[in-house]
Amino acid sequence: MFSLTVFDLLPSFFPFCPLQPIINGYRNKSTFSVNQSPDGNPKTVGYYLGTWRDGNIVCVPCTHLKNIPQKHSQVVQYYEVFLRQSSVEPCLLFHEGGHWCELTIQTNSQGHTMAIVTFHPQELSQEELCVHKVTLKDFFTKGPGAVCELTSLYFQESTMSRCSHQQSPYQLLFGEPHIFEDLLGLKILISPDAFFQINTAGAELLYQTIGELSVVNSSTILLDICCGMGMIALSLGQRASQVLGIELVEQAVEDARWTAAFNGIANCEFHAGRAEKILPQLLKSQKDEKLTVAVVNPSCDGLHHQVVQAIRNCRAIHTLLFVSYKPHGESTRNFIEFCCPPNSAKKLLDEPFILRQAVPVDLFPHTPHCELVLLFTQ
């Protein structure tokens, strides 16, 4: 059976494929799991091999991987030392008990390092929890882990695989609440809950590519939908007459507002909430005569149908950039909705968009993934 995906179409679209300048140790953020090693030690920190379905999951060291920087390897190594001397067990399966869970490390180009440890509280009292927090803090400030010179250490109580700050607050055990990064001439602030592209040099290349394709100028409004910390909006802000960003995670929106204010960018406005709720209202309040460029960069589950409807039915939007690291799956559904003939049953009324260009940016060297920028016009 033969089926066509957007990848099959791409070679004919590729005008160029920017390779990213740093290809080793490029990850600024990594999340490591805790589970049983192949030789049976349950206090092992690394990446999973195997599948849950086959019941053959093991945790293997990953510090030899080319995309992991030395700093991340060092913190992993010391977290494992900490776990192996801890009086309590790691949490391998939530319903089977245990406490210590994942370790996330975020670094900037100056080597400042934020570590986030997640911990399942199970039935522990507040006093018992406090003891474990102090033990962890002491290990990384006065104990063997002090050599890691962490800038900040966060602790998050977690009863499910991923919790947002709203669901379970990140508790700062010591150090600075944020780290900072320099990107395309901007000083940006990074919080533990905010999405930041995991390859800083690659992200610069991605935003430059978006800038070149979007043709934003002083008479256009730029919409940055699913904007994270607002990096697309902020890097193109000075070229546009106005920039509007929408993002689900409140901490990310606070970071975007801080970065805008710190860098003196006054024409950006960021809205916290679901794009499917905010965008239709926002577009209604805009005047149709102002040309609008929309950039969407959703998570792997793609855009909500109401976001597609709002963009497609907005007369002012003639240029759409879809940025995706997973252009198959849910995003394909979005492409079809943007490009299909008018369909009143689906409330897709205006003219269809046409795919004009597709530019991959190699944000993830040594892996099969890449970030794809698709340019559509109406």
Ligand X SMILES: C[S@@+](CC[C@H](N)C(=O)[O-])C[C@H]1O[C@@H](n2cnc3c(N)ncnc32)[C@H](O)[C@@H]1O
Q: Which residues bind ligand X (CB under 6 A)?
A: 195-197, 226-229, 231-232, 246-249, 252, 274-276, 297-299, 304
- CB nearer to ligand X: give 206 or 221: 206
Cβ contacts of residue 111 below 8 Å, gap of 6+?
71
Question: What is the secondary structure of 12-51 as a DSSP string?
Answer: GT-S--PPPS--SS-BSEEEEEEE--TTS-S-EEEEEES-
Task: Give how far the C-alpha of residue 371 lies from the chain's centroid of Cα atoms, to the nearest Å.
Answer: 12
Q: How far is the CB of 260 from ligand X (least distance, A)?
A: 14
Instruction: Find, among 250, 259, 263, the residue nearest to 195 by Cα.
Output: 250
Q: How far is the CB of 41 from ligand X (least distance, A)?
A: 35
Query: What are the Cα distances from residue 157, in Å, to 34, 95, 102, 154, 209?
Result: 15, 15, 11, 10, 39
- CB nearer to ligand X: give 160 or 354: 160
Q: How far is the CB of 191 from ligand X (least distance, A)?
A: 12
Question: What is the secondary structure of 316-340 as a DSSP string?
Answer: TEEEEEEEES-TTTHHHHHHHHHHS
Q: How far is the CB of 336 from ligand X (least distance, A)?
A: 19
Please give the single-letter amino acid code of residue 127: E
- CB nearer to ligand X: give 82 or 364: 364
- CB nearer to ligand X: give 69 or 228: 228
- CB nearer to ligand X: give 226 or 314: 226
Instruction: Find, among 9, 73, 24, 3, the residue nearest to 360 by Cα.
Output: 9
> How many alpha carbons lie under 13 Å from residue 71 in its C-beta half-sphere?
22
- CB nearer to ligand X: give 149 or 276: 276
Helix/strand/coil for 202: helix
Q: How far is the CB of 303 from ligand X (least distance, A)?
A: 8
Closest residue to ligand X, based on beta-carbon distance: 228
Q: How far is the CB of 174 from ligand X (least distance, A)?
A: 27
